[in-house]
Structure 1
Amino acid sequence: MSGKKRFWARLRGRDRRKVGWKESGLAILYSSWLNVLFLLVPFAWAAHFAPWSHASTFALCFLSILPCEKLFDWGGEQLALFCGQDVGDLIVITLNNSVEATLAIILLFRCQLKLLQSTIVGVVVLHLLLIPGTAFLTGGARIWEQQLHPQRSELNHTLLLLGVMALVVPAGFFAAISRDLPTDTGESTILTDSVRGNFLHMGHGFAVVLLFVYVCSRFYIHDPPGEDNAFRLAADASSEEVRIAKALEEQEPELNPWACVLLLIVTVAVMGVTAEFLVESIEFVREESKIEEEWFGLILLPVVSFSADGAVAIVYFVRSSLRHYFHVPQPPSSVAEARAIDLSIQFLLFWMPFVVVLGWWTNKPLTLLFDLFEVTVLVGSCFLVNYVTADAKTNWAEGIILVSFYVMIAISAWSYTGQPDIRIMAACQTVAAALLPGSPSTE
């Protein structure tokens, strides 16, 4: 059987035990104790529309997203039984990025473009430094070093660098434009709608290229060249990878593939609405505490958007730690958890250009001209992550290094007010209107 026929046969569950809808429903219901928190979803939505406090709305929305995040992981693992580990990982990565993607789309439609740009950088930096750093730290605590997939790591380095360079080029272009050519009226020759139009065209072209590259990279990873390579492990695969692949082949699903797809669609819909209410409830923090917009976008919003997934990870880490100390300890895994780096790559090469194209379609002037400080932070994060994972090996000390750099970024961003020129170029109104005294872009 050819690779494509084998894939579709596997997706339809022909080589798996048949699971009925009733059994699938019960499996979903008992998949996690966190599902009980779905009872809070109506209260979270009611809190948004009712005159409740912002803190109550935030708490209820936060708790309501927890079971959604857990179902994403569980549903992705179940779907991997039908479509393979690689495609299953892609689905889980996309679902895990859904909260941040929803946040980006919300900010786009509200025309908060400068905050959107900061949040995009903040999400990528969070997934490059804090999350993998924590994973390397905890995963390598009981083992000398852990392994990464060597071929995928090499490709990830290139993809990550391309995504970062897509922001470096517009920043360098803007810095290279001469600013010493005053007009007769004394007006700026740089901060104009014509110049912003050039950056819009540049951003639209870059977005199309990035989307094309990301799609091609997924085909390369999930259907490598060669006969039936999509179903074979690499020749240098570790024993742990072989064990995981074998377990995936032998494990029986708990629900049928169509129930799994329906589950993920419904969960994404519930999560999207709840995430929007969560973001709206957190805005009062910036208004009341006078937090700078840069720190709010770079640090606070990404952390809040990931907090539900992080809370789920903490709960299960604590549970596994208790099992380790009070029961028979499990041997440490030799494979490092680096899914967060894939999250960053997808956000840079898919969701960021997708939002740019969406802004193009909805007449929102979103460009890839980002603040120079944000671009610098992103370049530094990319360089550090690529250096740490260059040998396809990690350890707990390198995890500490990644987390430490994230803390350094958070400290430096606390008092950063942003580039005034970029704020004006990211205004939803015309550049001329944004330059007028009293405009939000000049305050």
Structure 2
Amino acid sequence: MKLLVLSSYVNVLLVFIPLGIIFGALHMSPYLVFSINFLAIIPLAALLGFVTEDLAKHVGQTLGGLLNATFGNAVELIVAIVALSKGEILIVQASMLGSILSNILLVLGCCFFAGGMKFQEQTFSNIVAQTMSSLMALATASLLIPAAFRATLDTTEHGLDEPRILAVSRGTAIVLLMIYVLYLVFQLKTHAALFEEIESGEEEPAELSVPICLVALTIITLAISVCADYLVDSIDSIVISTGLSKTFIGLIVLPIVGNAAEHVTAVMVAMKNKMELAIGVALGSSMQIALFLTPFLVILGWIMNQPMTLFFSTFETAVLFVSVFITNAQIQDGISNWLEGAMLLGTYMIIAIAFFYYPADL
């Protein structure tokens, strides 16, 4: 227990976990409930990452890679499942898109900028980066196609729109999940040598036993679920009273929760000139969300009878397309500097400003 508590400096925020649950159970101010549970999930995300990495050391590189892929974005997945169960489709879609944007623009931008302030130029494997960015381009196409499909439908046939879009989204989701499985085979078996530097990181022995890791994962997951439940419940009241859109909250605010620990890790690694690992964290996480979490949630919505689709608004799909295009332009030469980081951060700020003024979806 002491090892877990001392595993990260953000664990000072653990005090907010019981407070968030109590305030939520007592139906206190939505602002208070949202803020306290927001802060509570940050250390839980850090603990989840620490325990998952420790468990991965016990099971070997291949299975360890699968574990990191599964639990690396567990907070986003839990929050999204809670929102999906409540029918908050806009929040689910925005949180998935926001997690992708925060990783490829905010995290990668911070890595390039922080590393570039210490080193004049930093190099990384452009082959691995291009593979991940190509998969991101595929994921972007999977969102553009449903949007284009919806735009071509006869607007007089409103009753037929939703079933058609649902069918297209569910079929596309199945294809994306198949591509993700093939990517895992590519990464962990047929072309594992390309990813060795990313996978290896620091060779340190495991500090927790397997049973302790499993118990800790169970407790942390349950705690995140409870805090996420209260957090999602408070969003409607905040939207009504502030005029902010659910899209802004899901796209800009919620990704900070799930990615906070990941962001810090990537930047620290970049400042040590380990750009392969930093790229793996930033692009790898985005790719997992685009090819695994988002289509998985579409299929889960199908099972739960919730109309979760891959149909995003024209503005959202345009923003994702531009972001992936700019990211690809920055990484194609395998060299980074602080100016490239500033450009990525500037793009993210422009997107955040635009979504801040995005009309509220009441």
Scaled by the length of structure 2, what TM-score is found? 0.86
Deviation at 1:34, TM superposition (A): 4.5
1:195 match = 161
Q: SS at the partner of 2:158?
A: coil
Deviations 1:367-403 (A, max 9, x none): 2222111111111111111111112332221111111
- Distance in 2 (CA, whole Å) between partners of 1:359 and 1:246 is 36
Q: Which amino acid aligns with 2:177?
A: L
Q: SS at the partner of 2:293?
A: helix
8 Å Cα contact 2:56/2:68 also seen in 1: no
Structure 1 residue 258 and structure 2 residue 211: aligned? yes
- Distance in 1 (CA, whole Å) between partners of 2:30 and 2:226 is 16
How has the CA–CA distance of structure 1 residues 30 and 405 changed in structure 2, closer, same or farther, with 3 Å as cutoff?
Answer: closer
- Please, what is the CA RMSD of the aligned residues? 3.1
Deviation at 1:347, TM superposition (A): 1.1
Between Structure 1 and Structure 2, how many residues are aligned?
359
How has the CA–CA distance of structure 1 residues 114 and 55 changed in structure 2, closer, same or farther, with 3 Å as cutoff?
Answer: closer
Deviations 1:180-212 (A, max 9, x none): xxxxxxxx52422x2321221111111111111
Query: Larger radius of gyration, structure 1 or 2?
Result: 1
- Distance in 1 (CA, whole Å) between partners of 2:322 and 2:290 is 15
- One of 295, 299, 304 as aligned partner of 2:253: 304
8 Å Cα contact 1:57/1:278 also seen in 2: yes
1:279 match = 232
Q: SS at the partner of 1:366?
A: coil
Query: Which residues of 2 match residues 29-428 of structure 1 at below 5 A?
Result: 29-32=5-8, 34-35=10-11, 37-84=13-60, 88=64, 91-177=67-153, 179=154, 188-192=155-159, 194-224=160-190, 230=192, 233-234=193-194, 241=197, 245=200, 247-248=202-203, 251-291=204-244, 293=245, 296-297=246-247, 299-308=248-257, 312=261, 332-335=272-275, 337-338=278-279, 339-417=281-359
Deviations 1:120-156 (A, max 9, x none): 3223222221121112211221012223333321221
Q: Which amino acid aligns with 1:387?
A: A
- Distance in 2 (CA, whole Å) between partners of 1:206 and 1:139 is 38
Q: Which amino acid aligns with 2:158?
A: L
Deviation at 1:165, TM superposition (A): 0.5
Q: SS at the partner of 1:140?
A: helix
Deviation at 1:280, TM superposition (A): 2.7
8 Å Cα contact 2:94/2:251 also seen in 1: no
Give the number of the structure whose residues are more often helix, by fraction. 2
Alignment gaps of 5+ in structure 1: 1-24, 180-187, 321-329, 424-439
How has the CA–CA distance of structure 1 residues 80 and 117 changed in structure 2, closer, same or farther, with 3 Å as cutoff?
Answer: closer
8 Å Cα contact 2:126/2:331 also seen in 1: no
Deviation at 1:105, TM superposition (A): 1.9
8 Å Cα contact 2:121/2:337 also seen in 1: yes
How has the CA–CA distance of structure 1 residues 218 and 398 changed in structure 2, closer, same or farther, with 3 Å as cutoff?
Answer: same
- Distance in 1 (CA, whole Å) between partners of 2:222 and 2:42 is 14
Scaled by the length of structure 1, what TM-score is found? 0.72
8 Å Cα contact 2:73/2:289 also seen in 1: yes
8 Å Cα contact 2:14/2:40 also seen in 1: yes
How has the CA–CA distance of structure 1 residues 156 and 245 changed in structure 2, closer, same or farther, with 3 Å as cutoff?
Answer: closer
1:430 match = none
- Distance in 1 (CA, whole Å) between partners of 2:38 and 2:86 is 22
- Distance in 1 (CA, whole Å) between partners of 2:273 and 2:321 is 31
Q: Which amino acid aligns with 2:227?
A: T
Deviations 1:76-133 (A, max 9, x none): 3323423456754553454342222223223322223244333332232222211211
Deviation at 1:32, TM superposition (A): 3.8
8 Å Cα contact 2:252/2:352 also seen in 1: no
